Structure 1
Amino acid sequence: MEVSSRGLEQERVGGIAFDISIYTNLTHDHLSYHTTFDEYKRIKTTLFEHLTKSIAIINRDDDYAQHVIDNTKKTARVMTYGIARNHDTDIYASNIQLSVHGLNFDINIPATNITEHIHIPSLVGKTNVYNSLAALACAHLALNIPLDLCKDALISMPPIPGRLEFITMPEDPITVIIDSAHTPDGFKEILSTIRDCRMSNNLLCLFGCRGNMDHANRSIKATIAHQLSDKVIVTTDMSGSEDPKQIIQDILAGFSSTSNSDDNVIIEIDRRKAIEKAILSVMQDGDTLVILGKRHDINRMLQDRIIDFDDRIIVRECIQQRIQRSL
């Protein structure tokens, strides 16, 4: 179960006694609800303050890991995971190789002197190394499931829809990636991951921002997208009751602080047209387009109505048009 900060603050999980709780990281998120980061951090930490005879699994590499450990109830057992080798890390990764063809790394468990290699073809990026370690810590260290079974489960896991989801066709040499990252840290992680994989000629980023939330992050996400992409296409997301044009104006404020030319920023308020323009007019053979922010599996909520919309369907239609155009 994923437990949100809102769920904790509203005590929606107050009647559940968790046997295992996992802490991944803490970023500047949901501040439109919690107002300050300190309040957000306090609420997230309550999940671990109320553990009894349970297990807390902590990402030791996170900046706030020690804060969570210090506030975990003393009757709970603490386990840690990470990439940086700390003296007290219970499971960590080494010899990490990142590519668009999956993850390769060594699993290290100091207590039992175990070092085993794993290749996970369906996952990409350093974040998923951390997620894999968290899953291994939970299943193998906490629940005593044999390591071979845990590895088999990770290796055979299908791709996760809407999370670094690749959309390609063998007849067309472009790549489109869809990811529901919607925070500045998420933007930076996804775009840096694609950059690190050195998989394309030009990297394009298409995104909008959701209405009625996290106004301050709009310009920050624009700055990150501009710094890490060769071209940026700004469009709408789920605008809610806000004016989409105002949301885009808030986004554009983030481009003034970058040194890149404005020629590398394209504005198209209609999301379908933005995707069509990116794939059919802007992208060249060998380019990669990353579409960020919108959940892949839900409708678009506009000011006055809800419409059916799936980025993946539009992308596939556009790639088919490119293929037909090249015949």
Structure 2
Amino acid sequence: MKVLKDILYKVNMKAVAGDTGVTVNNIHFDSRKVQLNDVFVAIRGSLTDGHDFIKNAENQGALAIVCEKMPEQKINGVTYIEVKDTKKALAFISANYYDNPSEKLKLVGVTGTNGKTTIATLLYDLFKKAGFKVGLLSTVKVMVNDEEHQAIRTTPDSITINSYLNEMNKAGVEFCFMEVSSHGIDQHRTTALKFEGGIFTNLSHDHLDYHKDFAEYRDVKKRFFDELPSSAFALVNSDDKNGMVMLQNTKANKYTYALKSYADYKAQILENQFTGLLLKIDDQELWSRLIGSFNAYNVLAIYAAADLLGLKTIEILQIISQLNSVSGRFQYVVSEKKKITAIVDYAHTPDALKNVLETINSIRTKNEELITVVGCGGDRDTTKRPKMGHIASALSSKVIFTSDNPRTEDPEKIIEDVEAGVQPQNFKKTMSVTNRKQAIKTACQMASENDIILIAGKGHETYQEVNGERFEFDDFKIVNEFLKQLDK
């Protein structure tokens, strides 16, 4: 139970009709969840407009309505608050409702196109091993210290974020690491949160189905750093040309990390193998079980963030050497007899796919073939599809184009879009198998001794979404089964 005026603190109100001194129960932006004496916040979405459901919320007992346009008919006893932006209002209302839980722990946000999950998850693992109570908000899972919850989206809604942070407060969590998506920033899901620091990984082609163009996508990411307080740190990859852009207007303390250019935190790759990386970080040698140059950046970001958060150098280096790769991120298995290596990776953007393929090609001897199984998701950015087709066919020995999560689109039409990017000299390398399980099986059957199979796009996901339904589907489990069959 909360007093309405208390949870409206910092909300920019244009008009109020009714009593803000009333006591309310819960907050909702889904009218179907509203119960007696709840607050309903009307959010304008891409598919539905919450303002169309104000009447439903009133009928279900809402005591207060937060909206961008006052309804013509008002009900006596219901308080109406008109605001400029209900998404922003929801962020402050949610934070106030849960007594601003982000202020009671050290919250670090990780943003960028690739590497968010790996960095956030491994920072969680590192600080757990260092003896702290830690929280995690990621694409793969949500952790309240040792308690695991299923993740619904990369950056949850404001109510869910603050609810989890509140649970973390109760559990005595000291640090929380959080993935911050461009959608989350743009929709103000992270507004009203107090961050101890922000990390920028890189920026490449993604989410252009949502953002108008790349410049808008970049500027939304930048807004996260613009809003960091002066007490926070802003840590950016200065090898990415957008890294310094993120720092232009931030009030936070500025730090950089890089492999190629001058930076506050610098690393050098000494060895790059399928068993891991040997790195030199600030004149200290470090062995990591993570693989590939893109993971060298992730390891360096983890090292830098842990240093900025006060851990001792020797402890950071010791723990990083114990960390394993994150589920669905360059996760690999080698068959017992034929020694076929199968790699499952979440690479679902052109840049991520290029990074993974270039990493494999830099490690392999070229005496073995690299067979790639890849597709693109439906109802998402269509412009990246031919780019994915071009990269896969140019950097692989053979390619099987298949379904990812087709959602409501025709999977064969998606594959045609991907194939459109294949250059004529690479036509003979490619084939299409629409059924993803059959595509993985085909790749295993095509593979000879010591060959490498990359299954890209879905990574950690344990489902496939077709026509609005989710079916159980785990790339890693499936390829494991087929490799075992080949070894019989």
TM-score > 0.5 by shorter chain:
yes
Equivalent AA in structure 2 for residue 227 of structure 1: A
Shift of 1:296: 2.9
Shift of 1:102: 0.5
* 2:95 matched residue in structure 1: none
Distance change (3 Å), C-alpha of 1:49 and 1:151: same
Alignment of 1:277-288 (within 5 A): 277-280=442-445, 282-288=446-452
Unaligned runs of 5+ in 2: 1-177
The sequence identity of aligned pairs, in percent, is: 34
Shift of 1:320: 1.4
* 2:28 matched residue in structure 1: none
* 1:313 matched residue in structure 2: 477
Equivalent of residue 232 in structure 1, options 391, 394, 399 = 399
For the residues of structure 2 that align with 1:29 and 1:144, how far apart are their CA atoms? 34
Deviations 1:204-254 (A, max 9, x none): 110111000010111110000011001000110100011111111111111
For the residues of structure 1 that align with 2:410 and 2:449, how far apart are their CA atoms? 35
* 2:240 matched residue in structure 1: 62
* 1:268 matched residue in structure 2: 433
* 1:40 matched residue in structure 2: 217
For the residues of structure 2 that align with 1:228 and 1:270, how far apart are their CA atoms? 23
User: Is 1:162–2:328 an aligned residue pair?
Assistant: yes
* 1:212 matched residue in structure 2: 379
For the residues of structure 1 that align with 2:365 and 2:332, how far apart are their CA atoms? 12
Deviations 1:182-212 (A, max 9, x none): 0000010000000000256111110111000
Shift of 1:95: 4.7
Deviations 1:282-316 (A, max 9, x none): 11111101000013333111125321111122111
Secondary structure of residue in 2 paired with 1:33: coil
For the residues of structure 2 that align with 1:271 and 1:99, how far apart are their CA atoms? 29
Deviations 1:100-130 (A, max 9, x none): 110111111xxxxxx110011x200111111
Alignment of 1:23-172 (within 5 A): 23-52=200-229, 53-73=231-251, 76-86=252-262, 89-108=263-282, 115-120=283-288, 122-140=289-307, 142-172=308-338
User: What count of residue pairs does the alignment treat as equivalent?
Assistant: 309
For the residues of structure 1 that align with 2:202 and 2:353, how far apart are their CA atoms? 15
For the residues of structure 2 that align with 1:144 and 1:304, how far apart are their CA atoms? 46
For the residues of structure 1 that align with 2:296 and 2:477, how far apart are their CA atoms? 29
Secondary structure of residue in 1 paired with 2:454: strand
Computing the radius of gyration over CA atoms, which structure comes out larger, 1 or 2?
A: 2
Residue range with higher mean Cα deviation, 193-202 or 7-16: 193-202
Shift of 1:68: 1.4
Distance change (3 Å), C-alpha of 1:268 and 1:95: closer
Question: Does the Cα contact within 8 Å between 1:162 and 1:178 map onto a contact in 2?
Answer: yes
Deviations 1:5-36 (A, max 9, x none): 00000000101110111111111111100121
For the residues of structure 2 that align with 1:169 and 1:36, how far apart are their CA atoms? 43
User: Is 1:290–2:454 an aligned residue pair?
Assistant: yes
Shift of 1:99: 1.1
Equivalent AA in structure 1 for residue 224 of structure 2: L
Q: Structure 1: which 4+ aligned runs deviate by more than 3 Å? A: none
For the residues of structure 1 that align with 2:201 and 2:407, how far apart are their CA atoms? 29
Question: Does the Cα contact within 8 Å between 1:227 and 1:258 map onto a contact in 2?
Answer: no
Shift of 1:322: 0.8
User: Is 1:221–2:221 an aligned residue pair?
Assistant: no
Unaligned runs of 5+ in 1: 109-114
* 1:112 matched residue in structure 2: none
Deviations 1:34-92 (A, max 9, x none): 1211111110000110112211011111111221121222xx21011111241xx2110
User: Is 1:2–2:190 an aligned residue pair?
Assistant: no
Question: Does the Cα contact within 8 Å between 1:177 and 1:291 map onto a contact in 2?
Answer: yes
Secondary structure of residue in 2 paired with 1:173: coil
Equivalent AA in structure 1 for residue 472 of structure 2: D
Secondary structure of residue in 2 paired with 1:31: coil
For the residues of structure 1 that align with 2:400 and 2:208, how far apart are their CA atoms? 26
Q: CA RMSD in A?
A: 1.3
Question: Does the Cα contact within 8 Å between 1:223 and 1:258 map onto a contact in 2?
Answer: no
Flag the structure with more relative contact order, 1 or 2, with Cα contacts below 8 A and sequence separation at least 6.
1
Deviations 1:129-179 (A, max 9, x none): 111111111111x12211111112211112311000111232232110000
Equivalent AA in structure 1 for residue 248 of structure 2: D
For the residues of structure 2 that align with 1:139 and 1:220, how far apart are their CA atoms? 36
Residue range with higher mean Cα deviation, 177-186 or 149-158: 149-158
Deviations 1:257-286 (A, max 9, x none): 3422x3311111111111111102x11111
Question: Does the Cα contact within 8 Å between 2:444 and 2:482 map onto a contact in 1?
Answer: yes
* 1:203 matched residue in structure 2: 370
Equivalent AA in structure 1 for residue 258 of structure 2: G
For the residues of structure 1 that align with 2:430 and 2:297, how far apart are their CA atoms? 33
For the residues of structure 2 that align with 1:27 and 1:206, how far apart are their CA atoms? 22
Alignment of 1:238-249 (within 5 A): 238-249=405-416
Equivalent AA in structure 2 for residue 91 of structure 1: Y
Q: TM-score, normalised by structure 1?
A: 0.91
Question: Does the Cα contact within 8 Å between 2:336 and 2:487 map onto a contact in 1?
Answer: no
